[in-house]
A and B are shown apart, each in its own frame.
Chain A
Amino acid sequence: MSEPLLTVENLKTQFFTEEGTVRAVDGVNFEVNEGELVGLVGESGAGKSVAAQSIMRLVEEPGRIVDGTVTFDGKKLVDIEETPDGRMEESDEMLSNREMREQVRGREIAIVFQDPMESLNPVFKVGAQLREFIELNRGVNESEAKTIAVDMLREVGIPEPEARYDDYPHEFSGGMRQRVLIAMALACEPRLIIADEPTTALDVTVEGQILDLVSDLQERYDTAFLWVTHDMGVVAEICDRVNVMYLGEVIEEAEVDDLFHDTKHPYTEALLRSMPRPDRSVESLDPIKGVMPEAINPPSGCRFHTRCPEAREACKEFHPEYQDVSDADEAPHAVSCIKYERVGYEDSDPLQTEATGAFAGGLADMRGDDDGRDPAGVPGGEADE
């Protein structure tokens, strides 16, 4: 197989706040191949958006990329190395800000943000905004750019694109605006589009339409997508391959069918169980216990051990290795969980946490005369054991 289009290795992005250093992205690895639709999923706060923006070096103060390498088509978008005296420095190969701006942003990689209401400038006409980016990134003149823009608006399903070209953003609905933003991304003919939760702010029906549109366009234009979302349903619908993030780390990566049917990581399993599905009743929904810990002070060992139903004492001690656990004849399937390592998981005692069910009985006793309202969703946990 040829080189991946995008390779992210050991990427670390941190935010230096008054409260301390937030390790939003903490050593992330993943790849996107030419023409592939790759998902990046996780709960809010997992660092998936920061990771996506780090690829384009769009992280703003007080955030900073502190380590790692991002390679896109042989170019080093990010390349930070340790110098002999122990400082982290940008290598000579890493693109300058200017090269980044002139060669990569928009031209090679385009982005679609989460909120279509905020992404378009309210005081400029939609067409003019499209045209500007097309002119800039495709090196065409104004009238050519306009033709491309109108064609692209038609492509993404905007009725009467010539007329709508001269409308202002507030004259479009949310779904229509997101179509405009997708048109904007595609019109620049990038090789990769990063979609940062592009359907989260939309109605479910509109979300469906947009997903259909993207699948359709992706096939025709053969553009690679990195699709950032918290929604496993969306992943199932459009992605080829998925990376699951938890607290700044990618903890599992597999082809979409593998991930759903041969789930390896307890966190992914928990995510899937918490997802509403037509073949299950609401009662059997199983929310993940607890909230994600702060990225300022991540838990020791495996970061998920505080919420993991299968956690054992060893999970507190050992930080699991991120490794491919698939058989040779299978598609790669990477996971980081010590269940798949030889560090003594099997001999270790189960951890006493709410997530492992250790407190379930105790809590029920304590609540004895309560009306049975359940803040942590314990019943689901019992149903599935």
Chain B
Amino acid sequence: MQSQLPLFPEQASNFAPHVDALMGFIILVCLGFAVAVTIAIIVFLYMFRRKSPGAIGVAIHGDMRLESAWIGVPLILALAMFAWGAIVYVDFRRAPPDTLDIYVIGKQWMWKLQQPNGLKEINELHVPVGQNVRLIMSSEDVIHDFSVPAFRVKMDVMPGHYNTLWFRPTRPGKYHFYCSQYCGTNHAIMGGWVTVMEPDEYTAWLAGSGGAHVSPVVAGQTLFAEKACLTCHQSDGKGSAPSLNGVFGGQVRLASGAVVTADEGYIRESILNPNAKIVAGYQPLMPTFQGQLTEEQTLDLITYVRSLQGEPVPSSGAGVIQTAGKN
């Protein structure tokens, strides 16, 4: 399949045709300019070559019309490139609501990925074709970057917070993924393969590769008890901390008066740096769990909190603003 001199990567996601079309547009515009300037230079060099050793040229100092034209025309074309590029990027940065969420942890120099049912993969990612997939990514050490050229997507993987990356695979197959942000000694081999499967194959694969993996919800629930979170975060709202029922995805009012959406990043921050955002009506009592949880344990906890999304919200002591509609 791979020729000796490959010049164009495969197109295997919803973004690939858009990115390639942008590439085509910008190549055409730039080629137009480059060819025009090159031809002008070559023609001038020939036509106006020095005819005798002492000859001088004609004194032309400038032309306002020309100057305005070659400021105006490139400006318009540049703005067109900007606008089109921004449209693609906005789409890329805003994941649709119905995504298959996969947690990704980068560390020197491997990738750990976790399917929604808790199945863990190392340097391998299996996803179903045609399904919107969202990677929720963090790093245990330095900055990494998850990059899939065939999908035309990449996103930095930062220590300390979550970045998300979404795509919809459009063609079954095996595609390289790379670490694209230099991360130390074995940066170049910190990669692997994305396998895009038919949905039924994917379901079978998920079921078949069962083994003894623990659902992250169960793992998170266990941790929630072990770390004594439930002493304060009682589900009926009677503890000294807000109930977590229905919090995930909802709006939370803070002591500062601000309202934030409880996403993965918020839950994570509330675990590792609890005093950063205090829920209105509560005291900053919670200790930090910075350094006491691995990235995977943090993700398990978040998944558990997320599983409480549909639980009944108590009338008092709720973490979430109850009138706010859930999305």
Co-assembled chains A and B? no
